[in-house]
């Protein structure tokens, strides 16, 4: 294949055109969360093409879109005054912001764009007094997305626009919840020349001024569907590259966060394993102590059984001795009564003996003496038996 001569109208010349360079500038806020990444190349191209003297953004959040405008000012060396208006508190659509969102953006912004840009921390209505009428060439509206809020923002800031003014509306392709940007956009399209990007939640370009710069005027006057689709597709493809990189950066950050979590979990796991080992050793010690206590308890139960058996034996023996003691006591009482009877009989016999001695004429004295002697022997025998019973009672 022969060489093709390169003329000024060749494809390579078009690709190297300075007018297209902004489409390929690398964004400066990569890694920051935003729904605006797919429109960053268009923001670069628009600022470089219309060269606005004043840019105002209503609703800045993390500053991805605003930084795209400011970066184009820096790269093109423009004499442009930029202002970002936001409370940096959030709203019902964007959610509530932490103070860290504003602090991080402020640090980035002041070091890079502080010489020509201002972050205005206020509501949109409060900020109206800071800008003269007919002073804004490029206005980006991206605040609360209800129909009433968007229409109010446009109408209240409309007097601030110059005859060169272009207005951007984000999220014109979102029809969910109470988003009403799409409705406001459809109404404004009937009044002003416009161009609609459908990718990245939708971005509307409205040529409000009567002397809009040529690039914006031409974009908003295209009526050839094939050209409209071609422009949409090409800006979407270029923008998707940064959206993909943003998602990749998020994934890398997430992987890093997860890696830290894994490291932390591994450290926790190692700590728990070490703790588990300590618990296992402690459990073994407890089990050993428990085994010893079980053996001691078994020994104590055996000893207790032996003590109980001995106690029962002693109780039975004591009961038997008590019964024997009671029987002996009864026998003693019985013998004592018998002894008392013998003693009384003996005393009677003695009295009779005395009487007999006083009466010598009686012939049976010898018999009385024998009877008395017999009673005495019985009494002695009785005393001996009582003594024996008492001795056995004491031994029992």
- Maximal CA-CA distance, the chain: 198
The H-or-E segment that residue 179 falls in is none
- CA-CA-CA-CA torsion for 305, 307, 309, 311, nearest 10 degrees? -150
373 found inside a domain: no
Tell me if 215 is assigned to some domain: yes
- Report the distance separating Cα 368 and Cα 346, nearest Å: 11
Element (H, E) at 80: none
Q: What is the dihedral of CA 269, 275, 280, 282, to 10 degrees?
A: 180
Nearest Cα residue to 337 out of 393, 386, 376: 386
Query: Could you give the angle at the alpha carbon of 9 between the alpha carbons of 4 and 10, nearest 5°?
Result: 35
Q: Tokens at residue 211, please?
A: 């002397």
Token pair listed for 202: 């939708």
Which residues does residue 100 pair with via DSSP β-bridges, in sequence order? none
pLDDT at 6: 47
Whether 150 is in a domain gets the answer yes
Considering only CA atoms, give the Rg of the chain.
Answer: 61
DSSP letter string, 361-396: T-S-HHHHHHHHHHHHHHHHHHHHHHHHHHHHHHH-
Domain-embedded: residue 141: yes
Total domains present in the chain: 1
Regarding pTM above 0.95, the answer is no
- 81-86 and 54-58 beta bridge pairing: parallel
Which residues contact residue 242 at a Cβ distance below 8 angstroms, ignoring those fewer than 6 apart? 27, 30, 37, 38, 40, 41
- The separation between CA 167 and the C-alpha centre of its own chain, rounded to angstroms, equals 45
For the domain that residue 63 is a member of, what is the CATH number? 3.40.50.150
Specify which residues 121 forms β-bridges with.
86
Residue pLDDT tens, the chain, 396 long: 344 444 455 767 767 778 888 988 998 888 788 889 999 999 999 999 999 999 999 999 999 999 999 999 999 999 999 999 999 987 766 677 788 899 999 999 999 999 999 999 999 999 999 999 999 999 999 999 999 999 999 999 999 999 999 999 999 999 888 899 999 999 999 999 999 999 999 999 999 999 999 999 999 999 999 999 999 999 999 988 887 887 777 777 778 888 888 888 888 888 888 888 888 888 888 888 888 888 887 888 888 888 888 888 888 877 887 788 777 778 778 777 877 877 787 788 778 767 766 655 555 667 767 777 777 787 777 777 777 776 765 655
Give the Cα separation of 199 and 12 in Å (integer). 27
pLDDT at 34: 86
Query: Is the separation of the CB atoms in 141 and 59 below 8 Å?
Result: yes
In a domain? residue 204? yes
Rounded to whole angstroms, how far apart are CA atoms 39 and 17?
20
Q: Per this entry, what is the length of the chain?
A: 396
Please say whether the beta carbons of 138 and 54 come within 8 A.
Answer: yes
Contact at 8 Å (CB) between 115 and 68? no
Give CA–CA dist 148/318, Å, rounded.
108
- Looking at the domain assignment, is residue 322 inside a domain? no
C-beta of residue 168 within 8 angstroms of C-beta of residue 206: yes
Comparing CA positions, the residue from 151, 137, 38, 22 lying closest to residue 83 is 137
Task: Give the Cα separation of 249 and 17 in Å (integer).
Answer: 30
Q: Which three-class secondary structure state does DSSP give residue 42?
A: helix
In a domain, 312, yes or no: no
Residue 293 counted as domain residue: no
DSSP code for 176: S
How high is the pLDDT of residue 357?
A: 66
Rounded distance between C-alpha atoms, residue 333 and residue 383, angstroms: 12
DSSP-derived letter for residue 20 is G
Residue 37 structural domain: 12-221
Closest CA to 219 of 231, 210, 211, 208: 231
């Amino acid at each position: 294949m022969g060489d093709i001569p390169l003329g000024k109208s060749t494809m390579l010349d078009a690709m190297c055109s300075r007018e297209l360079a902004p489409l390929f500038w690398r964004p400066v806020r990569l890694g920051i969360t935003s729904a605006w990444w797919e429109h960053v190349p268009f923001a670069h191209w628009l600022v470089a093409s219309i060269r606005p003297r004043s840019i105002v953004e209503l609703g800045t959040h993390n500053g991805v879109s605003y930084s795209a405008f400011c970066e184009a000012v820096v790269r093109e060396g423009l004499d442009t005054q930029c202002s970002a208006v936001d409370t940096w508190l959030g709203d019902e659509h964007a959610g509530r912001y932490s103070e860290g969102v504003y602090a991080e953006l402020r640090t980035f912004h002041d070091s890079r764009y502080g010489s020509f840009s201002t972050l205005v921390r206020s509501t949109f209505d409060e900020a109206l007094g800071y800008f003269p009428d007919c002073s804004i060439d490029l206005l980006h509206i991206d605040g609360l997305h209800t129909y009433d809020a968007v229409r109010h923002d446009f109408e209240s800031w409309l007097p601030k626009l110059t005859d060169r003014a272009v207005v951007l509306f984000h999220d014109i392709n979102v029809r969910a919840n109470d988003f009403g940007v799409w409705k406001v956009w459809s109404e404004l399209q009937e009044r002003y020349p416009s161009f609609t990007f459908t990718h990245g939640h939708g971005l509307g370009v409205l040529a409000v001024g009567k002397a809009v710069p040529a690039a914006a005027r031409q974009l908003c006057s295209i009526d050839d569907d094939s050209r409209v689709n071609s422009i949409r597709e090409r800006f979407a493809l270029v923008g998707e590259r940064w959206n993909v990189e943003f998602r990749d950066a998020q994934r890398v950050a997430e992987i890093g966060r997860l890696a830290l979590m894994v490291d932390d979990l591994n450290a926790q796991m190692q700590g728990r394993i070490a703790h588990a080992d300590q618990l296992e050793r402690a459990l073994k010690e407890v089990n050993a102590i428990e085994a010893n206590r079980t053996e001691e308890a078994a020994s104590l139960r055996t000893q207790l059984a032996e003590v109980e058996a001995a106690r029962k034996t002693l109780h039975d023996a004591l009961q038997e001795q008590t019964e024997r003691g009671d029987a002996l006591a009864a026998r003693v009482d019985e013998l004592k009564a018998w002894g008392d009877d013998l003693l009384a009989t003996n005393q009677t016999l003695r009295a009779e003996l005395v009487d007999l001695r006083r009466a010598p004429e009686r012939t049976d004295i010898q018999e009385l003496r024998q009877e008395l002697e017999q009673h005495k022997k019985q009494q002695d025998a009785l005393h001996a038996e009582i003594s024996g019973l008492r001795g056995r009672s004491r031994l029992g």
